[in-house]
Each structure stands twice: as structure tokens, then as C-alpha cells.
Structure 1
Amino acid sequence: MKHLGLAFFVLVFIHSHGIVRHVEADDGGFVKTSGVQLMLNGSPYYSNGFNAYWLMYVASDPSQRYKISSAFEEAKKHDLTIARSWAFSDGGYRPLQYSPGSYNEEMFKGLDFAISEAGKHGIKLVLSLVNNYENLGGKKQYVDWARSQGQHVTSDDDFFTNSVVKGYYKNHIKAVLTRRNSLTGIAYKDDPTIMAWELMNEPRCTSDPSGKTIQAWITEMASYLKSIDGNHLLEAGLEGFYGGSKQSSNPNFQVGTDFIANNQIPGIDFATVHSYPDQWLQGSSEESQLSFLNSWLDDHIQDAQNILRKPVLFAEFGKSLKYSGNTQRDQLFNTVYSKIYSSASGGGAAMGGLFWQLLAEGMDSFRDGYEVVLSENPSTASLIAQESQKLIRIRKMYARLKDIEKWKKAREGRNRGYDGTNGK
């Protein structure tokens, strides 16, 4: 009730004191952090979003770029304002990086277009720099490149420790961050359309379940990235699995990461969590999966708030329609959204959620069971739009509070006989 009371007070104060300017959220500028909140232009930034890993890949073919525009237009209609995508494709078919340091300009132009188009639609981007998995190359491709140069590497996990491999990855970080967009003329590291960089999609190091290998790698790479780009936020790409101190909160496996320790690294600006009960608890009932999800969400929001003292983004969540119906998926979406809104409405650490994954119409080859085509899934689309509107209302409330503070200071200045501009 206290949150409703605050919102009610703001509205009453605005109308009773003649502050009637319609406040719209200004999405220009770089997103920053302040305690457990993201900040944009001086106000807390809570926002709803989606995953679209395919943006660069599809946009690298100019004849297919309308699909990016269409997806962003549909997203904007549902007030979605953050998209997460890949800034990597290593070796193999239509790569961004043919080999270490050798880049495919057509793929880079595809990423240029995706960033430019996101900016036009007021959508912030979270861009991931490498994959844990073999899809589009990932850490395996980096290790294979090193092996072909005579390095003694025996495991894909050598990605995290081999100096040559780490050098390849650092060079990729630099190549992407210093890229100048061929459409806008803005270097990526200077572009406020990009909200954050992600070191890796779902880093895992099963050869070292203690988490120490991942800890050292994140520490080194976060420091390197920040030495090039001081404008943007950085997150590690973690799924949210805990280390030994809180093992009981995990599903029944350990992947060499530690949600608490890994996110306490100074260069990491906010935490991330992924949520796939249907994958992690295969064979269990819907009730068991939802029960796990509720605890999983609560644990991470509380730990981000009280231990990490950093914002947390639910960067992937979803439910496959291959094994369930729309009703079950909507129930999962509603659970995630309710937890985020409950935290955000109290000024808490949960900053938003990004469902996996948004597709435009005519992208059947990208369907994976988790896809959401907004025009095809009206009940899910309605839930998404409702969450977007709720978070926008929170942002507007804070913007109005900021206006009230400005108004009060100006009035106090007038009452004292000065306008506050001359410092006397």
C-alpha cells in the first residue's frame, strides 16, 4: 500500500500545485547505476525487453533487413525498450570473425544496421561478445584457433586460462568496441543506444566447479573492457547458479560459476539471471517447476538487493511450446513479471526482464519452441504489454518526483528573493 500511497501523493501534488506537464521518459543518454537501481537521465530506469540473438545475422543480408525493422516496430507497440543480441559469430558459416582479428565487413554492417535501427525505435541494446556454446563458434572455436597455432590446449575450458586464447578474445572486445558504425558514424563505445556489454552468453567452466577459474577470467576481462569503454555498463552473462555456499538453491547441477562472487567483481555493474525450469527440471510437474521458479526469483532479487547491492536483470526466461501450451507459458511469464514489478515498485534491484525470444513474422527457420511472434500469441503479447506499461508508470512517477523537487527548489528561491542561478 505504501507504493500506491506514494504514487497517489505525487499525482495529488502535481495537480494541486499546477505541475501538469506531461512527463515522458527520455531514452537518450547512457544508462548508469546508482546503488541497486539503473539510472537514465537522473531517474531510475526500469524497463521490459526481449532477446533477439539473430539481429546481426539477419541484417547482414540487406534484403532481409525489413525483418529487424518489423520486429522493432512490433516491440515498440508493446512498449518494449531493451533488446539483447549477439555481437559475435566466430568461424564457420557467415562469420563475423573469420579467424582471430580477421573480420567480415558485411556482418559488421549488419550489426551497424541493427544498432542504428534500435536507436530509431528508442530501444536500448545489451550486446554479448562470445558464446559459451559451439553455436556460432564460441569458446570452442577460440580454442581450436589456438590449437592450430601450436598451443597445447586440451579442453574448451582452456578458453578461460590460455594466454593466447585470452589475447584473441581481448582483440575481439577491442574490435567491437572501437568499431565506427557505417550508418551513424558513431563508435560503438560512444553510442548510448547500447545499454551494456555482456562478456559471454552463459559462461560455464565445468572443469573447475569451485568457480575460481571463471572468477579470475571475469575479473581480467572486465578490467580490460572498462579500460577501453568507460561509457557503458558491463555484465558477465551469468545464468545465476550459486556456488557452494548456496548450492541448495540451484537446480541439480553445478557449472563452475557463483552468482554472488562473480557479480561482486568491481567491473561488473549489474547481475543477470536466466530462468528455464522446463530445461533444468525436466520430467517434473508444472507445480514443481513454478515452485522452483518462485524461489529462484526471490533468492536472486534478495541477494542482489542485500548482498551485491547491484541491479539484477532477468536476461533470459521462457517456456517451450513444444512441451506445453500457451496457458502454461503465460503462467511462467506472469510469475516472472509479477516478481520484477513487486521489486521495482518499491525501488528495488529487479530492473526488468527479457523473454526468449522475439521473432518477426516470416522467420520460421528461427523457431525453437520458445519464440514469441506477438501477432500470433495475443495472450502472451497482452501480458508483455501490461508489464511494459507498469514499469513505464514507475519511471514516470520518479520523473514527476524529480519535477516536484525542482519546482520546490525554484519556489523556495523565489520566496527568498533570488532565482538560484547566481549562487547567492
Structure 2
Amino acid sequence: MLDRRTVIAAGMALTATQSVASPRVPRPGRPVDPAIVGVDGMQLRRHGKPYRFVGANMWYAAWLGGAAAPGGRARLTREFDRLQALGVRNLRILGSAELSPLKNSITPAFRDKGAVYNEALLTGLDWTLAEMAKRGMTAVIYLTNFWEWSGGMMTYLYWVNGGRYINMNDPAHPWPEFPDRNAAFYTDAAAQTLYRNYIRAVVSRTNTVTGQPYATDPTIMAWQLANEPRPGGSDAVAIPNLPAFYHWIDGTARYIKMLDTNHLICTGSEGLKGSIEREDVVLDAHRSSAIDYVTTHIWPNNWSWMEAGDLAGTYDGGAAKVADYIASHVRLARRLDKPLVIEEFGYPRDGADAFDPSIATTYKDRFYGQIYAAIEADVVASGPLAGSNFWAWNGEARSQHADHRFQRGDLAYMGDPPHEPQGWYGVFDSDAGTQAAIQTHAGRLNV
């Protein structure tokens, strides 16, 4: 992420960034504390047993966890209780956000360009982890974002390049200019210093609620380098950038291992869709001994594998592509001998522009069932699939505006981030069919 504390720390970060031939980092297969999730070949393990989970994405948890506005601890407690009742025991949450001029980026943020970070949000993260611990949940915490909605990599570049940036989906800068520009992040020494300084602050933090150092907290399952990092958007940029991209993954993961020898580390990759559709890129991005498991994301609507306005006619074709996508990543994880987590998957409600919780979720529920059935079958086959995190939990929140658009200052945080229609992919507390699919799968997996 962003800034750090001292000139010495900045120098250490740069040295680590530039260290190519680092020694092998052992994977934490058997942590000293058996409550901390470790790895054993293609399995996650906890308390000496295979650790499999039904999970959710809840990026906004730290915002609700704060003691003052925009905090909402009473609501967060209710949401955790609902998720626990469904059998959800892992949450993927945002542990960073960079104060940004980018359109639709969330405020408040964990940090700006300076070396003093937002203690209110960090305390919100502390409180979130403390409440998760009470419920036996574990957390995956991502430490920056490739995309704009939490500031992310473009904001780091903006801080160090004299104030230049572009917005995602700006007609003046059509796709793939945004991801191509973001690729500069991996080799920008000044941006990397800011990012590593923030990593040090979070990973080395002691929870102000529990007194537990983050580095020894069993509630944390993994640190994640970023949400959906890509080597670029076009082949013309991404392919020449691959060595720098791999180096950034390996070097950043090793840097975190220096700060925390206990916890797992993952990339946050979408898999093939974030890897210019090349299996060798997925393999090389996850080959580092400092990367403990493989991740993939599945978005049939975003990838035009189906049409929201014609689900009856296009669902089956999309489902076939989903099955192939899962099978490809299972095969890749087997080659790497590492666990695999489907840490994002999302599907719209029935019909185009359908965001209100009163609209049915017939096809969404079928899609969830497909994902869950694939995981259950892979468990029977002793495969690498360890769990999943649906995108995302909306809970009791409802859109505050007729156009279902998030506006800065809104406090009804949903799983749908601020750049998306509120209610597009998230699961509401009233979505009985989707919750039934989640709970049924949890009953089969949480044994």
C-alpha cells in the first residue's frame, strides 16, 4: 500500500524489492500454534485436520467495525451472527484503502500518502478480527487492490508520478488502458516503498481489542498481496511485464514472511482471466515457495459467458464454461501441489438491471449450487479445492437511492463495492434460496 515510517524502513523495503535471489521460504505446513491454518501438500490444515470452509466476501467489515462513524458495530455483530448461522467460517476482507482522486473510490480510507495511517479504520479491523474470533471464523486480508474502488495501485502511482492518473471506464481511456497503466506499479520503486511501509504497519500490528499481535493471531488465515493483481491488460504490455510481475509476487510474499512467519500468503489472482488466458502465467505466478495456495475468481456475467437479460437461454452455456474453468484450475493446482480456493464468485439476480432484493434469484442459486457441487466432488476426489468465498454479503443493508448507485457518505455498506450498482451481486438477508444453498453446502463441508 502506501507510506511507512522511517528512512530506514523505506530503505529496507527497497532492498527487499530489489533482492532477486532470495533464499527459499518454507511453507508454514505445521505452525507452532495448531489453531493457525497451515498447508500440507494440496490441503489446508487446522488443529491437525483438513480445513475446508464455506466463506463470504465482506470487504467493508473494518468500516463497520469502527467505534465512531462510519462504524456500525451493532450491525456488524448481527451480520456475523447471520453468517455463522449459515455455516460461513471464513471472510475475505479489505485491510487497505488508499485515499484517492479516482471516481467511485471509497472514503474514508486506511491511509493517504503520508506515514500516519487511519487509526479509526485500523481499530475497526481490530474489532472485526476480535468478533470473528468469538465465532471461530478466519480472515483473508488483502493489502491493496488492482482496481479503483478502494484507491489501489493507480493511487500509489498517482502519489509518486506527479499526480497523473486515469479513471476506470473513462471513455477517453478505453479498455485496456487502465490495467496497462497499472502495470507500472510493479516496477515503481517509490510506489513499492509506500506499499511495503503500509504492509509493515498492518502485519506488525497488535490488536488493540485483544492484545494479540496480528502475526500470531489464529483468526487470520492469510495475507493477500492484492485484490486481482494482473500483469497488464493487453498482451503488448502484459507479456513484457511478466518477469517484473512474478518478481513482485515473490518479493512481496517474502517480505511479508519476514514480518510474519506463521500465516499463509496468497496472490489474490483471478486465475486464467487475470493471467492473459495463459496457463503458464497462472503457474509461474503461484510457483514461488512463499505463495502457499492458489486462488481463482469466477464471473460469468462480467465475462459475457451468459446474458443477464436472457438467463433461460444462456445459463447452460455459461455453466459449461464455469465447469471447464474450475476443472482447469484444479488441474493447475494439482501441478503446483498447492490448495485452491475459489475466493470470488458472483451472479446477478433474475433479469437485466435487477438489483432490488424483491427480485428472484433462481439462476443465481443454481450457479451457487454448481460451484458448491464442484467443491464437494473435489473433496471426495482428494483434490486441492479447500473452500470458497461468494461475492458478497449484503446482509441487512439496502440501497439508499432509487438508481441503486452508491454516493460518497453513504453508510449502508454492501458487498457490491461503490463502483457497482448496489444489489447487483450481493446476498441480502432476505435471499432465502441463496442462503439455503450456502447452508446446505456448509452442512456437507463443515464436518
For the criterion TM > 0.5, the same-fold answer is yes
d(CA) in 1 for partners of 2:365, 2:190: 46
d(CA) in 1 for partners of 2:261, 2:275: 33
**Match of 2:432?**
378
* 8 Å CA contact retained: 2:138, 2:219: yes
Q: Which amino acid aligns with 1:54?
A: Y
* 8 Å CA contact retained: 2:229, 2:274: no
Pairing 1:160-199 to 2, within 5 Å after superposition: 160-199=186-225
SS in 2 for 1:127: strand
**Match of 2:298?**
275
Displacement of 1:149 in angstroms is 8.9
**Match of 1:73?**
81
**Match of 1:398?**
none
d(CA) in 2 for partners of 1:212, 1:359: 38
Displacement of 1:100 in angstroms is 3.9
- Structural RMSD (CA): 2.2
**Match of 2:243?**
212
Q: Which amino acid aligns with 2:283?
A: I
The C-alpha deviation readout for 1:183-233, integer Å capped at 9, x for no partner, is 011121111100001000000222223533321110110111111111100
SS in 1 for 2:301: helix
Displacement of 1:161 in angstroms is 0.3
Cα distance change of structure 1 residues 177 and 70 upon mapping to structure 2, 3 Å threshold: same
**Match of 1:84?**
92
**Match of 2:397?**
362
d(CA) in 2 for partners of 1:357, 1:293: 18
Q: Residue 445 of structure 2 is aligned with which of 381, 391, 394?
A: 391
* 8 Å CA contact retained: 2:300, 2:306: no
**Match of 1:59?**
65
Displacement of 1:242 in angstroms is 6.5
The C-alpha deviation readout for 1:351-399, integer Å capped at 9, x for no partner, is 01100001221343433411112x3111111110111111112xxxxxx
d(CA) in 2 for partners of 1:331, 1:360: 20
Displacement of 1:317 in angstroms is 0.3
Q: Which amino acid aligns with 2:346?
A: G
d(CA) in 1 for partners of 2:434, 2:306: 24
The C-alpha deviation readout for 1:51-99, integer Å capped at 9, x for no partner, is 0001012222545111211111001101110000100011143111122
d(CA) in 2 for partners of 1:277, 1:32: 31
Q: Residue 258 of structure 1 is aligned with which of 281, 284, 307?
A: 281
* 8 Å CA contact retained: 2:394, 2:423: no
Task: Give the stretch that moved more between structures: 55-64 or 135-144.
Answer: 55-64
SS in 1 for 2:75: helix
d(CA) in 2 for partners of 1:28, 1:369: 39
Q: Which amino acid aligns with 1:69?
A: T
d(CA) in 1 for partners of 2:62, 2:430: 24
Pairing 1:399-418 to 2, within 5 Å after superposition: none
**Match of 1:97?**
111
**Match of 1:415?**
none
The structure carrying a bigger helix percent of its residues is 1
Counterpart check, 1:41 vs 2:47: yes
The C-alpha deviation readout for 1:116-149, integer Å capped at 9, x for no partner, is 1111111100000001011121001111111249
Cα distance change of structure 1 residues 245 and 94 upon mapping to structure 2, 3 Å threshold: closer
SS in 2 for 1:302: helix
d(CA) in 2 for partners of 1:90, 1:169: 10
* Number of positions where the alignment pairs a residue of Structure 1 with one of Structure 2: 354
Cα distance change of structure 1 residues 54 and 363 upon mapping to structure 2, 3 Å threshold: farther
**Match of 2:407?**
none
Cα distance change of structure 1 residues 56 and 363 upon mapping to structure 2, 3 Å threshold: farther
The C-alpha deviation readout for 1:211-262, integer Å capped at 9, x for no partner, is 3332111011011111111110000000011799964x8xxxxxxx921111
d(CA) in 2 for partners of 1:280, 1:243: 11
**Match of 2:269?**
238
Pairing 1:20-39 to 2, within 5 Å after superposition: 29-39=35-45
Counterpart check, 1:317 vs 2:313: no
Pairing 1:87-166 to 2, within 5 Å after superposition: 87-92=95-100, 93-148=107-162, 155-166=181-192
The C-alpha deviation readout for 1:124-178, integer Å capped at 9, x for no partner, is 000000010111210011111112499xxx9432211011111111111101001
Cα distance change of structure 1 residues 30 and 287 upon mapping to structure 2, 3 Å threshold: same
**Match of 1:23?**
none
Q: Which amino acid aligns with 1:215?
A: Y
* 8 Å CA contact retained: 2:305, 2:321: no
The C-alpha deviation readout for 1:292-345, integer Å capped at 9, x for no partner, is 00100111112212x111000000001022637511101110110001011112
* 8 Å CA contact retained: 2:146, 2:182: no
Q: Which amino acid aligns with 1:383?
A: A
SS in 2 for 1:313: strand
Task: Give the stretch that moved more between structures: 211-220 or 349-358.
Answer: 211-220
Counterpart check, 1:287 vs 2:310: no
- Structure 1: unaligned runs, 5 residues or longer: 1-26, 250-256, 394-424
Q: Residue 346 of structure 1 is aligned with which of 346, 368, 381?
A: 381
d(CA) in 1 for partners of 2:239, 2:423: 30
Q: Which amino acid aligns with 1:326?
A: T
The C-alpha deviation readout for 1:394-424, integer Å capped at 9, x for no partner, is xxxxxxxxxxxxxxxxxxxxxxxxxxxxxxx
- Structure 2: unaligned runs, 5 residues or longer: 1-32, 101-106, 165-179, 308-313, 355-359, 400-411, 415-421
